[in-house]
Amino acid sequence: MTHLTGLVPLLDKGTSERMMSVEITPLKAPTHPGALKLVSYVEEKRANNDWPRRRNLPDKALASIMPNIFMLAPADPDGADWRFRLVGQEIVDRLGFDPTGSLISTLFAPEEALRHAKEYRDVIAGTRDSISRCVFRGIDRDFLTMEIIHVPMLGADGETFWILGGMFFRT
């Protein structure tokens, strides 16, 4: 099922608001080589009854895709809002801004922030990993196409689950 997320406000150098929309299509499995590498890394950890951990990243096994990696931490105990804790340089370059430190509630329209927060809670609860193809429109990034992966990881405290994500662009 494909859906258009609607308008998403983004700050343009802190002075004016621009809008973008994101079309999301869930995938059963990744197809991009970088996405496959991230999923393989996570599956190897799970096979050893382990999780990716913030304290172990960056990891040499992921060196080639670190510019495409991002991390989200819950900003409150209920996971109603999430903060970008790390955003790789390829993502920053492609999107044209750096969301590191930003809350999803400040980047997305309210209903979209709620939908994303629910998805992240489902991922860390072990309900599912999230793999999707996304197409951005707007903010001078029309038709920017990528695969996005969200999987659980252990955060900086070694106890709280975060989201380890990858954003892998199609040229």
Q: How confident is the model at residue 11 (pLDDT cuts 50, 70, 90)?
A: very low
pLDDT in tens, 142-157: 667 889 999 999 999 9
DSSP line for the chain: --EEEEEEEEEETTTEEEEEEEEEEE-SS--SHHHHHHHHHHHHHHHTT---BGGG-S-GGGGGGGGGEEEEEESSTT-SSEEEEEE-HHHHHHHTS--TT-BHHHHS-HHHHHHHHHHHHHHHTTS--EEEEEEEEETT-TTEEEEEEEEEEE-TTSSSEEEEEEEEEE-
The residue range of the domain holding 124 is: 3-50+65-170
Q: Is the peptide bond before 58 cis (omega within 30 degrees of 0)?
A: yes
Terminal alpha carbon distance of the chain: 23
Domain assignment present for 56:
no
The total domain count for the chain is 1
Residue type, 11: L
For residue 128, what pLDDT is reported?
77
Residue 115 located in a structural domain:
yes
In a domain, 74, yes or no: yes
| pLDDT score recorded for residue 12 | 41
Q: What is the pLDDT of residue 21?
A: 61
pLDDT-derived band at 94, boundaries 50, 70, 90: confident
Residue 76 lies in a domain: yes
Q: pTM (2 decimals)?
A: 0.84
Query: 72-88 burial, b for 16+ CB within 10 Å, e for fewer?
Result: bbbeeeebebbbbbbbb
Task: Answer yes or no: is 155 within a domain.
Answer: yes
